[in-house]
Amino acid sequence: PDLKHLKVLVSSASVAQLDQQMSLDAGGDDFLAKPVDTQDLFNALARHLQLTWNYEETINIAHASEVIAPPPADLQILLELVQEGRLKKLMEVVEHIGKQDDRYHAFTQQVLQLAKKFQSEKIEQLIQAYLATNT
């Protein structure tokens, strides 16, 4: 089969200029250093596939008076879980927090909705924003 039209993104833990050049000389179209940054990957895909990404609005907690976040200790636990990539456990803890106090319903629904879409970075941003406003 004719594979010349396929784009090849090379990823390596070695970021030496020589290694990058060797990867490109071997047929790679672009080089991404490990660990791969998602934004760098999306940019490379857009560049090579002529894509235009449409992004949702960033999370805004301007309506914080409507959303009551759990105590900072609970937020810290949630932050650690999302940073570890443990979304299933995060969802369990969030559901438990929501059952403990109805005041946290809007917050828990927001986090659960993001978790179901695997939006770890947005969850982390949200939690950090609440931690910043509560400390």
User: Tens of pLDDT along 67-103?
Assistant: 889 999 999 999 999 999 999 999 999 999 999 999 9
Q: Is 61 within the bounds of a domain? A: no
Q: Is 42 within the bounds of a domain? A: yes
Pair 129, 78 in one domain: yes
Q: Is 55 within the bounds of a domain? A: no
Q: Say how many residues make up the chain.
A: 135
The pLDDT tens digits for 33-70 are 888 888 889 899 999 898 888 766 555 554 545 788 99
Query: Do the strands 30-33 and 9-12 form a parallel or antiparallel pair, or are they unpaired?
Result: parallel
The number of distinct structural domains making up the chain is: 2
Q: Is 63 within the bounds of a domain? A: no
Q: Is 60 within the bounds of a domain? A: no
User: Which pLDDT score is estimated for 52?
Assistant: 87
User: Which pLDDT score is estimated for 122?
Assistant: 93
Contact 129, 59 (CB under 8 A): yes
User: Which pLDDT score is estimated for 115?
Assistant: 92
Which amino acid belongs to residue 115?
Answer: A
- Output the pTM of the full model: 0.53
| Residue-number span of the structural domain to which 40 is assigned | 9-49
Q: Is 81 within the bounds of a domain? A: yes
CB within 8 Å of 31: residues ≥ 6 apart:
9, 10, 11, 12, 20, 23, 24
User: Which pLDDT score is estimated for 56?
Assistant: 64
